[in-house]
Amino acid sequence: MLSEGFVYQGEPSSIHDGKLRSEPSAHLPPTAFVMFLQNHDQVGNRAMGERLRSLCSEDALYAATGLMLLTPQIPMLFMEEQ
């Protein structure tokens, strides 16, 4: 989540025997987090290694990149995101 850093804030996971997922991070400033649209893990886990440029329209990629650059988190531009 943009306002809290992570979606999971230490809640028990129903699929992992009640183990806590992550830790509370809402108290941290936005600059403690890196914002990205895609990273090497996401590309590497795709069968063909597709990047966003091939998965969405150019206009959608530009809009998403623009929004990412306007967030208070530190932006990370991955390969071919410009």
In angstroms, rounded to a whole number, what is the distance separating the alpha carbons of residues 5 and 26? 6
15 shares its domain with 44: no
Query: Going by C-beta distance under 8 Å and a sequence separation of 6 or more, which residues neighbour residue 4?
Result: 25, 26
In this structure, the answer to whether residues 45 and 23 fall within a common structural domain is no
Structure-model confidence comparison of residues 46 and 10, the more confident one: 10
**Do 17 and 50 reside in the same domain of the chain?**
no
pLDDT tens-place string over residues 40-72: 777 677 777 777 787 889 899 889 999 989 999
The pTM (predicted TM-score) of the whole model is: 0.69
pLDDT of residue 1: 59
pLDDT at 23: 85
Q: Residue 66: give the domain boundaries.
A: 33-75
Residue 16 lies in a domain: yes
> What is the per-residue pLDDT for 60?
92
pLDDT tens, residue by residue, 24-37:
888 999 899 988 88
Q: Is residue 82 one of the residues assigned to a domain?
A: no
H-run or E-run covering 66: helix 58-70
- Classify residue 48: in a domain, yes or no: yes
37 and 71 both lie in a single domain: yes
